[in-house]
Amino acid sequence: MTATPGGWRRSHTCGELRAAHVGQTVTLMGWAFRRRDHGGLIFVDLRDREGLTQCVFNPATSAEAHAGAQEVRAEFVLAVQGTVQRRPPGTENPKLPTGEVEVQVSQFRILNESKPLPFPLEDQTEVEEAVRLKYRYLDMRRPQVLRNFVIRDQVYRAVRDYLHAQGFLEVETPFLTRSTPEGARDFLVPSRLARGSFYALPQSPQLFKQLLMVAGFERYFQIVRCFRDEDLRKDRQPEFTQIDIETSFLDRDEFLPIVEGMLVEVWRRVRGITLPTPFPRLAYDEALARFGTDKPDLRFGLELVDCSDLFRGGQFQAFAQVVAGGGAVKGLRVPGGGPLSRKDLDGLVEAAKGAGAKGLVWVKVNPDGLQSPVTKFLEAVKQPLLARLAAEPGDVLLLVADQMPLAATVLGRLRQELAQRLNLVPPHEFRVCWVIDFPLVEWSEEERRWDAVHHPFTAPRDEDLPLLDTDPGRARAKAYDLVINGQEAAGGSIRIHQQAVQEKMFKLLGIAPQEARARFGFLLEALEFGAPPMGGIAAGLDRLVALLAGEESIREVIAFPKTQKGTCPLTDAPAPVDPGQLKDLGIRLVEEP
């Protein structure tokens, strides 16, 4: 076995030569990153996965090599043999780890040529994403892109090492499975052997991991692809990767520290950062009240403050009526927001309306008094209002009156947007928290029934169990989300492990017994054979890696991602198939009406 025609073997990588190697004869293999031709002297920066090494082609060393190097172009694949030498004084490159030395080339081979590139491989140049994705294999040669996949690899390993050390068993579950109701749209796979029937790709291994608990595996995990046929975002792809975990015999407060330990280990190994534990916990109601969202970004303040009582029965009719009708007035203090122009403030009003509010009241706190479209209505509550929001001259106050949770969520969006705009978000900080005590169900107006907030297998809190019969909307679930910098990074729950409770839940959700039997009777049956108490979580691996890499979009940390329309510019998937394939499956295409 030889690495190249002629029997050369790579002796070092392009990232490892140092002053200590001076005098050694080495063989490097890699890509010609850049060539600098001085006529009498040619420099080629040879790049491989590990780094960059300057190779010098000097006719005094080898006229043949020097002549050959003139043919070299960007991204030619080279094998280079020569002597490591210290660079002449004054020509060292402190920007390169290998910058103290260079390889004086005595002979080299062109292992392969390359066409001119469709785009430059420099890190700093911005190239349209569709072009990058069409030539993703070239894009990935950029050190910045490679770095993201090194981080991803470190995350895989940290997760596996940690969970294995904690006694978790790694198990694979099927991709070809059956469609389940609720949740996202399924990707369907037609069956040839059972014509007219379809597999569904899993939205998550939810049911299987519960079966593994019934099986007595006790601690399971899997780094697994999940599929959801919904519209894409920068943090959502049709196929994405979850760290899926399930445990037996642990209640929430025993389980969450295990997950915290995993996150701590990942952040420690990848970023050298020690996340403080335990992670703070926020009840869902509290998160909504203080931040106007169930995934609060804790890197900055701008907390929402309830001002409802200040306006109850007051002369500001618009607000007083909302409060009288059971709604709330939520306030947000924008410190130093004074410079916001009338146009900015009008923009905020529009944004609030766009988010569903009937309106937004802004108040400038000037040294000589309040300035607002509704100043005269505010005079009566001026002092308590300023005190409630801890306002100071130069601030801007934003007030939204509406039903809860709308009043809070509207202001929550403005909070996020203003933090961005006013540069209040520290760029290199990680703030992690748990959001717990989610509602179990919420009323769906359009379907006229209760919907599971998390999923139908989530257990209600024990003390809320009676509420299922009397006031389901007030029942809280044993569910939890892990939120990092305002992003949902993981979500899970303690499951229902008693068949009677599960059936009650289905009944509440309007899933008829026959339908439940038909759809996942196998799970209900399993629950009758001694199912242990169980609970787990699923973490979005792509989002974790993006956070660790400082990338905005998970596409930057997925090897071959899809565009926003779900296509792959590289393979041109999805694509029509051969009529014979359709015939095998018993599928006939119909024209759109």
Query: Where along the sequence are the contacts to RNA (CB under 7 A)?
Result: 34, 36-41, 43, 45, 54, 56, 58-60, 73-74, 87-88, 90-93, 95-96, 99, 102, 116-120, 122, 125-131, 182-185, 203-204, 206, 228, 230-234, 236, 451-456, 553, 555, 563-565, 567, 569
* Closest CB 207 distance from RNA, rounded Å: 8
Angstrom CA distances, 583 to 190, 192, 194, 483, stand at 12, 9, 13, 47
* Closest CB 288 distance from RNA, rounded Å: 15
* Closest CB 557 distance from RNA, rounded Å: 13
Structure tokens at 82: 């020569």
* Closest CB 99 distance from RNA, rounded Å: 6
What residue has token string 């989300």? 481
* Closest CB 48 distance from RNA, rounded Å: 16
**DSSP-assigned letters across all residues of 408-425:** HHHHHHHHHHHHHHTT-S
* Closest CB 58 distance from RNA, rounded Å: 6
Q: What letter would DSSP give residue 177?
A: B
The Cα 405–Cα 328 span in angstroms is: 9
Reference 416, options 324, 524, 292; nearest CA is: 292
The Cα 271–Cα 154 span in angstroms is: 10
Nearer to RNA, 63 or 324 (CB): 63
* Closest CB 205 distance from RNA, rounded Å: 8
Inter-residue contact 547 to 483 (CB < 8 Å): no
Tell me whether strands 281-283 and 198-200 are parallel, antiparallel or unpaired: unpaired
CA 103 distance to own-chain centroid = 42
Nearer to RNA, 89 or 339 (CB): 89
* Closest CB 195 distance from RNA, rounded Å: 28
State phi, psi for 247 to the nearest 5 degrees: -135, 160
The Cα 553–Cα 559 span in angstroms is: 13
Q: State the Cα angle at 550 between 95 and 492, rounded to 5°.
A: 150
* Closest CB 386 distance from RNA, rounded Å: 32
Nearer to RNA, 161 or 239 (CB): 239
- Strand partners for 536: 246, 493
The Cα 317–Cα 374 span in angstroms is: 11
How are the residues of the chain apportioned to helix, strand and coil, as percentages rounded to the nearest 5? 30, 25, 45
Nearer to RNA, 170 or 451 (CB): 451
Nearer to RNA, 5 or 88 (CB): 88
98 three-state secondary structure: coil
CA 458 distance to own-chain centroid = 23
* Closest CB 124 distance from RNA, rounded Å: 8
The sheet carrying 487-494 orders its strands as: 169-170, 219-227, 239-248, 534-540, 487-494, 479-484, 432-436, 281-283
Region of 272 on the Ramachandran plot (φ > 0 left; ψ -120 to 50 alpha; else beta): left
Nearer to RNA, 397 or 482 (CB): 482
* Closest CB 107 distance from RNA, rounded Å: 17
Nearer to RNA, 8 or 208 (CB): 208
Nearer to RNA, 498 or 563 (CB): 563
Nearer to RNA, 125 or 470 (CB): 125
Nearer to RNA, 4 or 85 (CB): 85
Nearer to RNA, 101 or 365 (CB): 101
47 three-state secondary structure: strand
Nearer to RNA, 330 or 519 (CB): 519
Inter-residue contact 403 to 326 (CB < 8 Å): yes
* Closest CB 42 distance from RNA, rounded Å: 8
Nearer to RNA, 116 or 313 (CB): 116
* Cβ neighbours for 499, distance < 8 A, ≥ 6 positions apart: 524, 527, 528, 531
The Cα 198–Cα 185 span in angstroms is: 14
Write out 508-519 in H/E/C secondary structure: HCCCCHHHHHHH
* Closest CB 88 distance from RNA, rounded Å: 5
